[in-house]
Amino acid sequence: MDLHHLRHAIALADERNFSRAAARLGMAQAPLSQSIQRLENSLGVRLFERGRGGTRLTAAGEAFVGEARVAVAAADRAKNLARAAAERRAVVRIGLVSLALWGPIPSLLKTANEAGIAIHLVELGTDDQLALLAKGELDVALVSPPFAAPPRLRTFELAAEELMAALPAGDVDDDKPIGIAQLARRLILFPRSQGPVLYDAILALFHSRGLSPSLVHEASRMPTILTLVAAGLGAALVPAGVSRHMPVPGVAFRRLAEARAAPKWPLALVHLPLPSKGDAAELIRRWRRRPPGIG
């Protein structure tokens, strides 16, 4: 049994069809069938039930494929880390969600500069960052929990921002808190895939007030969301940090009348085990020792 067998089993489990799995793997169907048969023979158990309706995992298959995914992800990460070390690439690769731009990133940049550590920033959604961490293509990620954590992930919770309303400036004429009913008829929200728990909690807030929000636009990046609001195309819920640090002409930020019941917008720093003498681990150590409010 080797990694090829694991990849073959994962593809078949996902596609539930030998033909589609073979196409995904870029191989013919017969060699894939033989590979699965050899794997089952080596394990002494059946991993798949074959039938006219397709292929499905047995109980043994469910157990095996779950661990196979972990093993393949770890192998891919090990390969990428080894190649990076061989190339002596001394750049710490950091992923971040928009909220991190005004929270930890400035102090993290100053810490890296003081330590002479080169960094590369990539702005991505939480799920995309976790996938790159698993592959070894990111060293550190600043993400919005909760999420399905991969094995061995280390998490440091940093903040939980209050939700604020972002509305077209012409829609408000005072500084009073805004009820979510004013947002319900034309809501702009991030895609659910970027944070399913927070997304569902936001919708649940509307539903708890007997409201069914009309989702007029979805946007992945905060600047895009605020541009849509400024154009008068809808209203959004944003973390308080955005209202403090990202003023946009034509956008008014207001507290929610339902602030106590509203979910928080969380932020966390996460990483998989890092080489203790590497730049990424050193950067995190120095940054966590930095006094609050400095940089």
For 101-119, the pLDDT digits (tens) are 777 888 888 898 888 888 8
Distance CA 132, CA 130 (A): 5
172 pLDDT more than 80:
yes
Write down the pLDDT at residue 86.
Answer: 62
99 pLDDT more than 80:
no
Of the CA atoms within 13 Å of residue 212, those in its CB half-sphere come to 0
CA terminus-to-terminus distance, the chain? 51
Distance CA 285, CA 180 (A): 41
At 224 the three-state DSSP class reads helix
DSSP-H helix ranges across the chain: 3-15, 18-25, 29-43, 59-86, 104-115, 126-135, 181-184, 196-208, 222-230, 240-245, 279-289
Tokens of 210: 């007997």
CATH number at 90-159+266-289: 3.40.190.10
**Mean pLDDT to the nearest integer, 139-154:** 82
For 141, residues 6+ apart whose C-beta sits below 8 A from its C-beta are: 94, 95, 96, 126, 129, 130, 132, 133, 269, 270, 271
Q: How many CB atoms lie within 10 A of CB 201?
A: 16
For 273, residues 6+ apart whose C-beta sits below 8 A from its C-beta are: 152, 154
7 pLDDT more than 70:
yes
Distance CA 51, CA 41 (A): 19
**DSSP β-bridge partners for residue 122:** 95
Q: How many CB atoms lie within 10 A of CB 49?
A: 12
Distance of CA 130 to the CA centre of its chain: 5
Q: Which one-letter amino acid corresponds to residue 47?
A: L
Among residues 187, 193, 174, the alpha carbon closest in space to that of 238 is found at 187
pTM of the predicted protein model:
0.60
Query: Per the CATH hierarchy, to which homologous superfamily does domain 163-263 belong?
Result: Periplasmic binding protein-like II (3.40.190.10)
For the chain, what percent of residues have pLDDT higher than 90?
44
Question: Where do we find the tokens 């995904």?
Answer: 24
Distance CA 248, CA 219 (A): 16
Tokens of 181: 């009913």
For 235-271, what is each residue's pLDDT tens digit?
Answer: 999 988 888 877 899 999 999 999 999 999 888 999 9
In the chain, where are the structural domains located? 3-83, 90-159+266-289, 163-263
Tokens of 19: 């033909």
Q: Which residues of 264-282 are buried (b: 16+ CB within 10 A; e: fewer)?
A: ebbbbbbbbebeeebbbbb
Distance CA 86, CA 32 (A): 33
Fold match flag (3-83 vs 163-263): no
132 pLDDT more than 50:
yes
CATH 2.130.10.10 fits 3-83, yes or no: no
Among residues 131, 135, 139, 98, the alpha carbon closest in space to that of 287 is found at 139
